[in-house]
Structure 1
Amino acid sequence: MIHLLPLMLERVGIIIIIAFLFARLKVFRTIINNDHGTRVKLLLVIVFGGFGIISNYTGIEIQDNSVLESAWLMNVEPDNAIANTRIMGIGIGALLGGPVVGFGIGLIAGVHRLFLGGFTAEACALSAVLAGLAAGYIGNRRQKTAEITPWFAVGVGVLMEMTQMGIILLVTEPFEMAWNLVQLIGIPMIVINGFGTLLFMFIIQSILREEERFRALQTNKAFHIADQTLPFFRQGLNTDSCKEVAQILLRLTDADAVAITNDHGVLAHVGDASDHHVPGEGLATGLTKKVLGEGKIITARRKEEIYCFKEDCPLQAAIVLPLKVHNNTVGTLKLYFKHPSQLKEAEQELAEGLAKLFSTQLELAEAELQSKLLKDAEIKALQAQVHPHFLFNSINTISVLCRTNPEKARKLLLELSVFFRSNLQGARQTMIPLEKELEHVQAYLSLEQARFPNKYEVLFNIEQGLEKIALPPFTLQPLVENAIRHAFPRSKKLGRVTITASSDNGLMHLTVEDNGRGVSGSELDLLGKQAVASKHGTGTALVNIRERLDGIYNMKAGFHIESEENKGTKISISIPLSRIGAEEHYAESIYSRR
């Protein structure tokens, strides 16, 4: 019995070496990693059934309680038996695939063992099938509550091998021969098959961990790239944003060139072949046109499959992926390689993941744009309206002055025309210079002060050089109007409104401060965040201004309200001195392709 152990160890070593080499193949990794559909189950049956056949061929022939040396068993004499590692492959395959797979593996290995012959052939064939069914059932039950660990597999393998010994004793005749055989091979086969199962499961476990690490690295890399490219894809598919994205991809992938197109031309191409893959021109390859037409990923591993119009193009392989918005192909992402061997499975999987992430980013960008456009439409509709009381009061004031002070009436008419022109300008434009906004404010103040002379004064502290800085229309005028209408009701003291504009650290700071009645603490917490119902107003203008600033400056603008009852209110706004008009660029790209 003892001298059988090293021979059995040698046989199990052969199986483990084959398993290790086979584990390097993609098909084996597919079997181990994929969900067990019909195709994968069939592959499991074939692969592990093959391990069972190899175990039969590499078995050790036993004759009259003695070991016969044999390199490869093609048949077994009627009075002889085999000591082998067949149960190891059956048990592992069944644990992975379930009872149906186990039955298939056991049937293949068992029938093959039956054809080899020997006085235990029937018992071994029966035990192979039963072991496959039992191990598959145990594996299914185990996977519902916990993972199949190597040591759990060893326990199942040992149990299956002991069961095989029992079946040999029950089925084989004469019993004396069966008993002598089990005494000789029982412990070595149980020990060695258990040890082999442990090693085999360690190989499988290493494959799973390797794949998990690989996928984690790929996912981390994809998210890192997506994080780097998100600010640019928010601007949509245009030449500037796509060039930045392409440069990031060229730096963070193994591609020799990266290109991005919309549905009719190249928007960016960086890397090799930039001499004829020129942004702003038509599509340079037939492969891109095919992807745009079919909306499917296409991989080219030969230069001829790229269909580049230039014969000496250095790019020999490519993967072209569709960029989709709401299931419509709006462009492509292309990774080019100078050698087909560079287009590995890892690069392909990374590119496919990036295409999905980029498509999602484009969809979110379009949704964000549509939201901004809708908000702008609502705001412009509000801007186009003039408060009827203000209009009537201004006309009445001017009509009175026509008799008492015609020159002042003429100036007020001019101010009223400026006010109307500013209203219309604000309804048509997203951004205007600060000086135009101040003209709007001054026109409003001139008309109000004509109605209420000596009731309040307005001071302007504007830093020189800021007059041309762009800001959203109706940013200051509503704040000044709020101060005039709500800060000084029935106040006997002289009201004062101070408008300040200054710059610091790349920001323009605007403040509108009054010395009026102030706002209570409970109202202050809600001002600018939501409409507040009160007898003095709703605060809708403040909400409007704050939402526009957040939308236009992508949450980079500041809006702050300070107030103290009977002392006054101060509203501060901070906006970047330079603004990238992302929504305009993106709107241009969206409408150009419609």
Structure 2
Amino acid sequence: MRVEQLTLLLIERMGILLLLTFILTRIPLFRYLLDRRLDLRTGVTFSLFFGLISIAGTYAGVVITESGLDSTFFAASLGAHEAMADSALIGVMVAGLLGGVFVGTGAGFISGIHAYWLGGITGAADAWSTPIIGLLAGLVARFFAEERVIAPVKALFISVFAPILQMGMILIMHESSPSAIRTVDLIGVPMVVANSIGVGIFVAMILAAMKEEERAAASETQRALHIAEMALPYLKQGLTFETAEATANILRRELHANAVAVTDTEKILAHAGLGTMRHVQGELIVTELSRRAIQTGDIQVAARKEQIQPHHPAIGAAIIVPFRSGGQVAGLIKLYYQSIRQIRPVEEAFAKGLSKLISIQLDIAMAEQLRNLMKDAELKALQAQINPHFLFNTLNAIVTLIRVKPEEARRVTVQLGTYMRMNLTMTQTPLIPLYKELEHLQTYLGIVNIRFEDQLYVDCKCESGLEAVVIPPSTLQPLVENSIHHGFKGRTDKGKIHVDLRRKGNGVQITVRDNGNGFSSDVLSVLGQSPIVGGDSTGLGVFNVNRRLITLFGPETALKFANPPGGGARIDFTIPYPDGEARNESDDRRG
């Protein structure tokens, strides 16, 4: 009967340790133990902490006297024939299972020294056994190193052996004397039950607290992402009165704040909620905390009314959240609340997360804008390279015609002026309708036909319905020019060029082929990939066309070069066919 009574007493008093466990899980330093980020300082701190928990478990125990059970709390010392049935091993076991060998052994030494000082029939045995138990618990924890916290069932099962080891040490130290045997018979089972259950509950509480914190963190992160996603489309447009007002309304609605303000680094751009009537857009930032947030980039908390602008009797606190763009503070988001009590640590943590998310998204948006600007600059540079290339060849032709056929030189000059005006209009945008590109090609051919007369035949066939498909400007003309000036070089027979445009699958296949000399084998593999060094041709026009196609449409639209079996040269490429829009524009134009 005394065994059952002792077991119940130990389980009841174990509630004190569980209360300490609950407090423990709320200490931020405890995260280092769970993440196994221990150094000497934190190791000593946790050894002392769990050692004190073990001592608390000792004082919450029950004194075993010769006359019976003494349930008085806080026994100052024990007589020579007295013993303590306690839950001291809970602290030691948890220290070893969570903190490893160092923390477990350290907590065991602290608990053992206290047990030896307390005295009694179990004092010396506890002094030897508790450090060993802490060491063994730390060694066992290495088998579960991949688990952040050992499972409660595993911890309970492992902890069963700790009191058994302690009971064995009592029998060894006292050479199995009758008093030692009686003590072990009385306290053995209650301590096994109380300590193993206590360790299991201890670990379960830690797991529950961790999951609760992780769920809360996940929820806040998701909320921050959602709000940042909603506000970003406005902030990406720049900090204006309109975008700031839209952002402030979104934040106030989603955060349930009393008011929200958005500023740049100098003035208030928008204010939503309480105090809006007293607020004037464009008002300069005057509060010290706001200026400090801009200078330092750190979140500030205003806890007094005099720190808040504009003043309102229903607003008593605020969080000032700076956000960055390009590494510099770009503005502030001010979240106003009725009382400082509404600004809990979770609100501050959320504000920090929101600041980082908006800053990261603004940096991504800036990088995207810079990338687009670089892309546009590259395209304009490529287009600028094509125009002088053609102009150089045409002017050479005009110089030749001036001496032998001045009237035709005048006509070519007029045609060139028309061509250049058309070219300037076309190159204002990276893409133009296909029908404009074909008109551009025909204007070019009108110039070269005056020079070559009946020595050149160009056949251009375009399948119906493709007129409005978009293509980079000056794409076809450089390819045709390449055939004229390099494919027919040294030939006396009539040059023929065929330009064929037809629908193929989800794209438009364009082919330019001629009956000329074909591509030389030494340049065929590199043509279009880079300008050719040496030789009569630089391949600059073909290279630029290839670069623009790849940049605008992707590598699958790159030029493909070949020498057909029948002779001559062939260039193929495919551009996307935009369903719907291109077809409608084409139909409207034909109608």
Does TM-score exceed 0.5, indicating one fold?
yes
Deviations 1:42-86 (A, max 9, x none): 553454334223322221111116223435545444532211111
Residues 258, 274 of structure 2: 8 Å contact kept? yes
2:584 paired residue number:
none
Distance (Å, rounded) in 1 between the aligned partners of 2:281 and 2:528 = 44
1:480 paired residue number:
477
* SS of 2:4 mapped into structure 1: coil
Residues 528, 542 of structure 1: 8 Å contact kept? no
2:585 paired residue number:
none
Matched residue pairs, number? 554
Structure 1 residue 177 corresponds to structure 2 residue 179: yes
Residues 487, 568 of structure 1: 8 Å contact kept? no
Distance (Å, rounded) in 2 between the aligned partners of 1:542 and 1:392 = 18
2:107 paired residue number:
105
Distance (Å, rounded) in 1 between the aligned partners of 2:249 and 2:401 = 66
Say if 1:338 and 1:201 are closer, same or farther in 2 by CA, change over 3 A.
same
Distance (Å, rounded) in 2 between the aligned partners of 1:234 and 1:165 = 70
2:200 paired residue number:
198
2:50 paired residue number:
48
2:91 paired residue number:
89
What are the within-5 Å matches in structure 2 for residues 569-584 of structure 1? 572=575
Say if 1:237 and 1:483 are closer, same or farther in 2 by CA, change over 3 A.
farther
Say if 1:391 and 1:493 are closer, same or farther in 2 by CA, change over 3 A.
closer
Q: Which moved more, 1:226-235 or 1:129-138?
A: 226-235
Alignment identity in percent? Answer: 30
1:586 paired residue number:
none
> How many Å apart are 1:338 and its aligned residue?
1.6
Residues 483, 497 of structure 2: 8 Å contact kept? no
Deviations 1:76-124 (A, max 9, x none): 4453221111111221123212333234433444444455443433433
* SS of 1:323 mapped into structure 2: strand
Residues 288, 332 of structure 1: 8 Å contact kept? no
* SS of 2:183 mapped into structure 1: helix
1:163 paired residue number:
165
Residues 250, 270 of structure 1: 8 Å contact kept? yes
Distance (Å, rounded) in 1 between the aligned partners of 2:420 and 2:56 = 93
Letter in 2 for 1:336: L
2:23 paired residue number:
22
What are the within-5 Å matches in structure 2 for residues 148-297 of structure 1? 148-172=150-174, 175-223=177-225, 253-255=255-257, 261-265=263-267, 282-283=284-285, 285-297=287-299
TM-score normalized by the length of structure 2: 0.72
Letter in 2 for 1:4: L
> How many Å apart are 1:164 and its aligned residue?
1.9
* SS of 1:2 mapped into structure 2: helix
Distance (Å, rounded) in 2 between the aligned partners of 1:32 and 1:100 = 12
> How many Å apart are 1:279 and its aligned residue?
6.5
Q: Which moved more, 1:128-137 or 1:402-411?
A: 402-411
Say if 1:232 and 1:414 are closer, same or farther in 2 by CA, change over 3 A.
farther
Q: Which moved more, 1:361-370 or 1:243-252?
A: 243-252
Stretches of structure 2 that go unaligned for 5 or more consecutive residues are: 520-524, 582-591
What are the within-5 Å matches in structure 2 for residues 27-42 of structure 1? 27=28, 30=31, 33-34=34-35, 35-37=37-39, 40-41=42-43
Letter in 1 for 2:477: V
2:545 paired residue number:
542
Letter in 1 for 2:329: V
1:413 paired residue number:
413
Residues 149, 203 of structure 2: 8 Å contact kept? no
> How many Å apart are 1:212 and its aligned residue?
3.4
Q: Which moved more, 1:62-71 or 1:402-411?
A: 402-411
TM-score normalized by the length of structure 1: 0.72
1:330 paired residue number:
329
> How many Å apart are 1:513 and its aligned residue?
7.4
2:384 paired residue number:
384
* SS of 2:475 mapped into structure 1: helix
Distance (Å, rounded) in 2 between the aligned partners of 1:62 and 1:269 = 71
Distance (Å, rounded) in 1 between the aligned partners of 2:296 and 2:440 = 54
RMSD: 5.2
* SS of 1:98 mapped into structure 2: helix
> How many Å apart are 1:11 and its aligned residue?
2.1
Q: Which has the larger radius of gyration?
A: 2
> How many Å apart are 1:318 and its aligned residue?
0.8
Letter in 1 for 2:289: L
1:451 paired residue number:
451
